[in-house]
């Protein structure tokens, strides 16, 4: 039997008064690759922040690796690339090496320093995303796609079992996006990392993901990729609130 | 010439203090500048001025208070100011920079009130505003030395946390870093370094010693650590040559140091421009 890496039970959340998420139930099985879909403002980032403990959870419960998020401490098992990651201060003077090292800080802990073995891990992560040549370049001097890879490397360096990416390809050109998704596929299939990818474009990831969840305040659909493809357009339209055609996204 | 320069106690004191703040100000400056909070130093230095004015006022009334170095009360004000800035930043989540003008103007307001209560300026206050070589005594040396030791140890111990927090607050939180504690600690360090620096460069010019070397360093450094080292190199260069020049030409040291920092900045910017133009002409 598969075990769940993330399990979300009956989560309801609102900022101030306005409800943003209602009664969300969602399980992410180990080794799966979930696409979390939804239009702007549908609560995708909010759900991610709740499960990372960045927002306080008042209704419902979230478990990570079987442990309640409120008690969860093993954050190094989770890699996270936030939606804001590509809007960072691009003048920030940090090399790719330094940025990727940050991913280890939580694991190393307070009052301890980076050891040689940590540095090797950083180099490995940089290699995994194919940025070896840029190790000592300032992050701001890289292209958007390369920066995104650096942030993935930072998320990977602590050897996470779960990787969460919130719209990682915004502002990245199409050819880099393809390479990028190839990388994600490799991480999922070869390294066995469970992936949650937030996106509002299913097109380019249809062949990649194993599961799909459609969110718009409520969870409108959750199933594997087959079920998603067999869902008829009317259901999707009701989800987006306007007519769409599931396989309309032409890619390549 | 250098032996001659160092033969007087007061100059030796000033040189020691100069070396220490030439290291401290840019070190903290790097963390301040990359967060786009360069003006925080200005706000805190004006609050420090209020503390010093208060101290001078009290010692006018109570003779025994003269024993106390006014910088201590300045420091107390500055640390309080740094706590207030943090609170205000929470209060105005989306206008975080508002905290700076608020604290800055309160600092000036208080200073002016204290100064007028003390019936105006005296040379002491003038020295605090613009810095002085002669005013530095051995109690200043010990005070700055303690600040140097404490701040350096804190930066080494919390380097990872400070670096991560400066780059990405969300990620810091996910990494389980106690951001509020680290941020508080950092603000206290800034307050201390400002108090330490102002004997020589003066309150009005402290912030430039914190930001100018960093502004120059950031143009040419690769990476964060290198930015720190180059900023310190520039800071020390400006302070040492500045003190030297100020002594021989009888100038205010603060102004001299700041102008030299600005000169370094101009050289760096020009050099970068020139270098690119040079590379392009070679490629063409
Ligand atoms: N900090 C906040 N305070 C108040 N309301 C917020 C806050 N963050 C988000 N919201 C609101 O919550 C709703 C969901 O936002 P969220 O960022 O989760 O959407 P999203 O699905 O990630 O959208 P996008 O595709 O644009 O990234 C939106 O209506 C937004 O206005
Ligand atoms: Mg979002």
A238 pLDDT tier (thresholds 50, 70, 90): low
Q: Which two structure tokens, joined as six digits, stand for A37?
A: 């879909």
Min distance A108 CA to chain B CA atoms (Å): 9
Residues 13-42 of B with CB under 8 A from A: 34, 36
Mean pLDDT, range A38-56, rounded to an integer? 92
Specify the pTM.
0.85
Greater pLDDT, B10 or A15: A15
A249 neighbors A202 (Cβ within 8 angstroms): yes
pLDDT confidence of residue A67: 93
* Residue of B170, B174, B219 to mutate, interface with A, max A Cβ within 10 Å: B174
Q: What is the ipTM of this complex?
A: 0.86
Residue A243: pLDDT over 50 = no
pLDDT confidence of residue B172: 83
DSSP state of A11: E
pLDDT confidence of residue B174: 79
Find the B215 Cα to ligand 1 centroid distance in Å: 36
CB-based contact B174 A91, cutoff 8 Å: no
CB-based contact B168 A95, cutoff 8 Å: no
Mean pLDDT, range A226-238, rounded to an integer? 68
- Please name the residue that has the structure tokens 């989560």: A11
Residue B229: CB partners within 8 Å, gap ≥ 6?
Answer: B221
Question: pLDDT by residue (tens digit) across A206-217?
Answer: 888 999 999 998
Query: A248: how many CB neighbours lie within 10 A of its CB?
Result: 9
When mean pLDDT is compared over A24-28, A52-56, B34-38, the highest value belongs to A24-28
Residue with the nearest Cα to atom 22 of ligand 1? Answer: A45
Residue A250: pLDDT over 60 = no
Cα atoms in the 13 Å half-sphere on the side-chain side of A39: 13
Residue with the nearest Cα to atom 25 of ligand 1? Answer: A40
Alpha carbon separation from A61 to A10, A22, A47, A50, A71 (Å, rounded):
7, 13, 12, 10, 12
Which chain B residue has the Cα nearest residue A87?
B168
pLDDT confidence of residue B241: 95
Residue A19: CB partners within 8 Å, gap ≥ 6?
Answer: A12, A13, A217
Alpha carbon distance, N-terminus to C-terminus of chain A: 37
The H or E element that residue B111 is part of is helix B99-117
Residues near ion ligand 2 (CB < 5 Å) are A 45, 83
The three-point CA angle B115-B142-B78 to 5° equals: 40
Question: pLDDT by residue (tens digit) across B157-215?
Answer: 999 999 999 998 878 877 878 888 998 899 899 999 998 888 888 888 888 999 999 99
pLDDT confidence of residue A235: 62
pLDDT confidence of residue A252: 41
Chain A residues within 8 A of B223 when measuring between CB atoms:
93-95, 97-98, 136, 138
Q: How many CB pairs under 8 A join A and B?
A: 80
The answer to whether B174 contacts chain A (CB < 8 Å) is yes
A188 neighbors A180 (Cβ within 8 angstroms): no
A44 lines ligand 1 (CB under 6 A): yes
Mean pLDDT, range A72-77, rounded to an integer? 86
Of A53, A99, A136, the CB nearest to B222: A136
Cα–Cα distance for residue pair B222/A227, rounded to 1 Å: 50
DSSP letters along A66-105, please?
Answer: TEETTT---GGGEEEE-GGGGGS-TT---BHHHHHHHHHH
pLDDT confidence of residue A2: 56
A164 neighbors A6 (Cβ within 8 angstroms): no
Which chain B residue has the Cα nearest residue A135?
B223
Mean pLDDT, range A90-119, rounded to an integer? 90
A171 pLDDT tier (thresholds 50, 70, 90): low
The H or E element that residue A10 is part of is strand A4-15
Question: pLDDT by residue (tens digit) across A106-118?
Answer: 888 888 888 999 9
Class of residue B279 by CB neighbours under 10 A (exposed 0-12, middle 13-18, buried 19+): exposed
Residues 175-194 of B with CB under 8 A from A: 175-177
Which bin fits A13, alpha (ψ -120 to 50), beta or left (φ > 0)? beta
Share the mean pLDDT of chain A. Answer: 86
Cα atoms in the 13 Å half-sphere on the side-chain side of A10: 4
Residue B196: CB partners within 8 Å, gap ≥ 6?
Answer: B17, B20, B21, B24, B71, B143, B144, B147, B148
pLDDT confidence of residue A248: 44
Three-class DSSP category at A221: strand
CB-based contact A91 B218, cutoff 8 Å: yes
Residue B128: CB partners within 8 Å, gap ≥ 6?
Answer: B49, B52, B70, B198, B199, B202, B203
Min distance B258 CA to chain A CA atoms (Å): 23
Using alpha carbons, select from B30, B44, B13 the residue that is nearest to residue B187: B44
pLDDT confidence of residue A13: 95
Tell me which of A38, A43, A214 to substitute to probe ligand 1's pocket, judged by most ligand atoms within 8 Å of the beta carbon.
A43
The answer to whether A65 contacts chain B (CB < 8 Å) is no
A64 pLDDT tier (thresholds 50, 70, 90): very high
A57 pLDDT tier (thresholds 50, 70, 90): very high
Cα–Cα distance for residue pair B81/B41, rounded to 1 Å: 11
B130 neighbors B255 (Cβ within 8 angstroms): yes
Instruction: Report residues of chain B scoring pLDDT below 70.
Output: 1-5, 120-121, 282-284
């Amino acid at each position: 039997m598969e075990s769940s890496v993330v399990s979300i039970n009956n989560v309801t959340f609102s900022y101030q008064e306005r409800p943003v998420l209602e009664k969300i139930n969602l399980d992410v099985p180990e080794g799966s690759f979930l696409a979390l879909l939804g239009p702007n403002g549908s609560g995708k980032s909010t759900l991610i922040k709740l499960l990372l403990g960045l927002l306080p959870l008042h209704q419902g419960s979230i478990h990570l690796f079987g442990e309640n998020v409120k008690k969860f401490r093993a954050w190094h098992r989770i890699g996270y690339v936030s939606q804001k990651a590509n809007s960072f201060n691009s003048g920030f003077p940090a090399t790719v090496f330094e940025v990727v090292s940050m991913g280890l800080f939580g694991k190393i802990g307070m009052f301890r320093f980076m050891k040689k073995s940590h540095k090797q891990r950083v180099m490995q992560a940089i290699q995994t995303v194919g940025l070896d040549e840029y190790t000592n370049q300032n992050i701001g001097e890289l292209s958007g796609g390369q920066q995104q890879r650096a942030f993935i490397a930072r998320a990977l360096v602590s050897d996470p079992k779960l990787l969460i990416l919130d719209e990682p390809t915004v502002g990245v050109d199409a050819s880099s996006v393809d390479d990028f998704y190839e990388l994600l596929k490799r991480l999922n299939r070869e390294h066995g990392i469970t992936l949650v990818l937030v996106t509002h474009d299913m097109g380019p990831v249809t062949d990649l993901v194993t599961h799909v969840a459609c969110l718009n305040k409520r969870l409108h659909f959750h199933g594997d990729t087959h079920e998603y493809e067999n869902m008829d357009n009317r259901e999707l339209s009701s989800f987006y609130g306007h007519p769409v055609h599931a396989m309309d996204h032409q890619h390549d | 010439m250098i032996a001659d320069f160092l033969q007087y106690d007061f100059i030796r004191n000033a040189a020691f203090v100069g070396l220490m703040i030439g290291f401290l100000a840019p070190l903290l400056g790097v963390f301040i500048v990359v967060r786009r909070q360069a003006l925080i130093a200005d706000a805190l230095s004006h609050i420090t001025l209020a503390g010093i004015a208060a101290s001078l006022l009290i010692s006018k009334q109570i003779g025994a208070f003269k024993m106390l170095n006014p910088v201590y009360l300045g420091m107390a004000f500055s640390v309080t100011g740094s706590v207030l800035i943090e609170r205000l930043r929470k209060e105005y989540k989306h206008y975080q920079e508002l905290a700076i003008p608020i604290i800055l103007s309160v600092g000036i307001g208080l200073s002016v009130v204290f100064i007028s209560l003390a019936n105006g300026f005296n040379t002491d206050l003038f020295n605090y505003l613009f810095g002085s070589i002669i005013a530095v005594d051995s109690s200043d040396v010990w005070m700055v030395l303690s600040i140097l030791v404490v701040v350096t140890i804190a930066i080494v111990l919390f380097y990872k946390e400070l670096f991560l927090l400066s780059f990405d607050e969300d990620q810091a939180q996910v990494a389980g870093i106690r951001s509020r504690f680290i941020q508080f600690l950092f603000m206290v360090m800034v307050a201390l370094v400002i108090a330490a620096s102002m004997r020589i460069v003066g309150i009005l010019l402290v912030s430039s010693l914190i930001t100018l070397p960093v502004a120059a360093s950031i143009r040419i450094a690769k990476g964060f650590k290198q930015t720190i080292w180059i900023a310190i190199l520039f800071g020390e260069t400006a302070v040492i040559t500045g003190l030297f020049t100020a002594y021989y030409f009888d100038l205010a040291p603060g102004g001299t140091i700041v102008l030299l920092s600005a000169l370094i900045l101009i050289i760096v910017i020009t050099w970068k421009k020139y270098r690119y133009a040079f590379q392009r002409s070679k490629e063409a």
